Every structure is written in C-alpha cells, then in structure tokens.
Amino acid sequence: MSKRRLITFDWALKRLLRSKANFEVLEGFLSELLSTEIRIIDILESESNKEDALDKFNRVDMKVKNSEGELILIELQYEREFDYLQRLLFGVAKTITEHVDEGEQYTKVPKVISINILYFDLGQGKDYVYLGETSFRGIHTEDELVLSDMQKEMFNRKRVQEIFPAIYLIMVRRFNEVAKNTLDEWIYFLKKGEIRDDFTARGLEKAKRVLDILQLSDAERQAYEQFQEDLRSQASMVNNTWRAGKIEGKKEGLEEGRQEGIQIGEQKGRQEEAASMLLKQMRRKFGQTPDWVSEKMKTANLEQIERWSDNFVFATSVDEVFASGQEEVQENCHPG
C-alpha cells in the first residue's frame, strides 16, 4: 500500500494549525499527551508569529489558551542548545508575567504547560518523554505538602503541582518507532512523518487529511519545499562544522598522538558549534551584531562561550552578553 506524503509537524504549526478549522488536530495531540480532553479557545501571539530571516529553520513555537484558561506553550526545536533548559524557564516565566495585569490577585496567575518537541538529546536519560513538575517535601518528615480544602476550592486545583508550570520534554530521536499506545502514535508521526492506517490516536485521522501535501496550493507547496531545503542546509552546516573541527584537530594532534588529536578535534567542533548557535541567537534577539562579536567568538574557548550563553538568557543588549570582558573587547576590537 502506498504511503501518503504528509507535511511535517513544524510546518503545520507555522501555517496550518493556527486556523480554527484545524484545531482538532492540535487538540488531539495535546489530549493524548496530557491524558485529558483539551479544547483550544484561541491561538495567542508567539515568537514564530513574527517572521524574520532567521525564523525559517530551527525553532517553531505556538502559544494557545484552552477552555480551562491554561496557557500551553508548544515549541519544536531542531538544533542543540546548551542552555535550552534555562531558555525554557525564561519563556515560562515571561508568559506568566505577560498574562497577569498589574494589581491583579495572585490567584489570577495562569497555569502554564510547556511542551517541547526536541530533535536533539537534552541531558542524559533512557526515556523519550519527560515531565517536570513542582512539589514540596518535608526535609525532616519527607511528607508531601498538599492543598487544604479551602485552597482547593479557591484555586479550583486539587494538587500543588496543578498550580505550578508543567514542563514536557519529548526527545523524538530516542523513540524506537514501536507505538505501544496512542501517545506513541503521535510521536511516531513526529519522527517518521507518517500516520499508519491502524493508528487510533485523537487528531490523527484529521491530520491525515489536513496535512496531505497534495492538498497544498502550488505556492504553498513551493514554500514548504523551500522550508525543508532550509532545514537540510542548516543541518548540513552544523554537521560540517563539527566534522571540520574534528579533522583539523586530528591533523594538529598527529605529532602528539592520535587520541589527543581526536580530543582536540572534538573540542574545536563543540566550540565552533556553540559559537555558531550563540551568534545566531544573538542576531535573532538583537538584530545584526558588530564585527567584533564574530572576531571574539573565533578566539573564545568553550568555557567562555558557555558563560556568554548563560549571560544571553537575561541580556537586553549585545554588551550585556559579554559583560565580564566588554572593556577588553572595545579596546582590542573596536576601530580607534
């Protein structure tokens, strides 16, 4: 039986699933992941609603509001980011503050659910779906703090965890392509871009129709093909940078031993990849960067780049990213 070619989920998030007519697809995915019936009320403004030159690959995000008043952040990310968890935390905190008006009671603080579909390994672990929640345990008694009856009624929540943000990490590449349940059927689609006829997960039946590439207009199909080509080019660039660093390091290390050369190469590869990612993130956030930034990246070691990446999370300008060494940068790199 021939397989129908389907649009990838990232493109669907960008272009198709923002329409109310197609909410059923996204509601199906969310319902399977959260194990409860989800009804989307609205699609809210998010980063990926603001197209720019760097937005055509790597990251797609969406913010939705459900019938319970909860805010659900959905992000799909291709490239590795060393500080992804910190950026995730910042995004959740920003969402909360943006949706509480000045002077409002704290009981109005919205529940935020962050869903992260990742095509790279984040940390170490054996599973492919992780859930992070907040709970409080006694240091001495080890009992878990629970809500009082009055709090349950006031907050309309049964558990402390339901007040704090819930964070889901889906490591797509770790999935072994064996669908044991309906959530796995969705992850199978996220990894393979296919929906099997025997799948029964909510939303997938309509996804087969809505995401059929043959249903696109000529202009939409061309835009989709270009989007896919951009993804391939970006992946190739990162991979080539990594490999080039390894090869260069191997050559430099031949006189001191093969093993040391491999280590040098891997180190250079990591440095160049981290520098490339940080530079791209800075341009996304601040626009075109000064020439001295690229020069400083070239001579930096991995520890420096990671420190700048930490600074970047809360930086409001290029200067704040390099705060600890900015005077030296100005002296050495700025034209006199």
Are 135 and 204 members of one domain?
Answer: yes
pLDDT of residue 55: 42
How far is C-alpha 210 from the chain's CA centre?
24
Look at residue 246 and tell me if it is in a domain.
Answer: yes
Task: Specify the pTM.
Answer: 0.67
Burial grade of 106 (CB within 10 A; 0-12, 13-18, 19 or more): exposed
Q: Which residues are CB-contacts of 227 (< 8 A; sequence separation ≥ 6)?
A: 11, 14, 56, 57
Least confident segment among 16-25, 61-70, 115-124, 233-242: 233-242
3-state secondary structure of 226: helix
Nearest to 108 by CA among 70, 66, 150: 70
Look at residue 3 and tell me if it is in a domain.
Answer: no
pLDDT band, residue 273 (cuts 50/70/90): confident
Look at residue 145 and tell me if it is in a domain.
Answer: yes
Instruction: Specify the DSSP element, H or E, that contains 271.
Output: helix 258-286
Are 86 and 123 members of one domain?
Answer: yes
Q: Which residues are CB-contacts of 132 (< 8 A; sequence separation ≥ 6)?
A: 166, 167, 168, 169
How far is C-alpha 136 from the chain's CA centre?
27
What's the mean per-residue pLDDT of the chain? Answer: 81
Query: Is residue 53 pLDDT above 60, yes or no?
Result: no
Are 190 and 290 members of one domain?
Answer: no
Least confident segment among 23-32, 75-84, 152-161, 212-221: 212-221
Are 63 and 171 members of one domain?
Answer: yes
Per DSSP bridges, beta strands 71-77 and 112-118 are: parallel
Question: Across residues 134-157, what is the average pLDDT?
Answer: 95
Look at residue 19 and tell me if it is in a domain.
Answer: yes
Q: How many Å from the N-terminal Cα to the C-terminal Cα in the chain?
A: 69
- Distances in Å between the Cα of 249 and the Cα atoms of 108, 192, 256, 273 are 55, 35, 11, 15
pLDDT of residue 211: 85
User: pLDDT higher for 256 or 78?
Assistant: 78
Question: Across residues 157-161, what is the average pLDDT?
Answer: 95
Are 64 and 168 members of one domain?
Answer: yes
> Quick count: other Cβ atoms within 10 Å of Cβ 283?
16
Domain that holds residue 256: 241-314
Question: Across residues 35-64, what is the average pLDDT?
Answer: 69
- Distances in Å between the Cα of 204 and the Cα atoms of 114, 137, 212, 336 are 21, 40, 12, 61
Look at residue 29 and tell me if it is in a domain.
Answer: yes
Query: Is residue 327 pLDDT above 50, yes or no?
Result: no
Query: Is residue 52 pLDDT above 60, yes or no?
Result: no
Query: Is residue 71 pLDDT above 90, yes or no?
Result: yes
Query: Is residue 102 pLDDT above 60, yes or no?
Result: yes
Question: Residue 60 and residue 185: Cα distance in Å, rounded?
Answer: 21
